[in-house]
Amino acid sequence: MIQAIDLTPEVDLKKPVKLAQLFICDSSPCGNPSKSALSRFSELKKFIKSHNMTRSFRIQKTGCLGVCKPSNVILIITQQDPLWLGNMLINDDYRYLMYWLIKSHESGDLIEMPEKLKNHLFQRIRD
């Protein structure tokens, strides 16, 4: 029997609650490494740090997330359901992600994603 894995981050009451943790897939060998989410990792990490959002968001690189279609995947673990973003290929995709991160940080809660970012959402496990 397969046991369910709880992906919800544990809450440390001594520290402010993080809004989400982002896992950036290295997109190889299935994705386009020149346009991979991983190629934006440093930029996203610097953005989060420069806007003092490290208590709200944590970002880390990961190997294969087990999803090849769509490629260029970002997994966002929240206190609700995990969010899967795929086909993150162009600069505007990351601008919308950054906008969503900063607005969520400012509000202290995850706000609704911009439509252009919602277009990248997909279900990892389908019914």
Give the model confidence (pLDDT) of 46-89 as tens digits: 999 999 999 999 998 888 888 878 888 899 999 888 999 998 88
Contact present, 71 and 82 (Cβ < 8 Å): no
Question: Does pLDDT of 40 surpass 90?
Answer: no
* 20-122 maps to CATH 3.40.30.10: yes
Query: What per-residue confidence (pLDDT) applies to 115?
Result: 96
Question: Does pLDDT of 112 surpass 70?
Answer: yes
For 2, 43, 74, 83, 94, the CA distances from 68, given in Å and listed in that order, are 23, 23, 12, 16, 20
Contact present, 48 and 105 (Cβ < 8 Å): no
Task: Sketch the domain layout of the chain as residue ranges.
Answer: 20-122
What is the pTM for the complete model shown? 0.79
Measured CA to CA, the distance from residue 126 to residue 115 in angstroms comes to 22
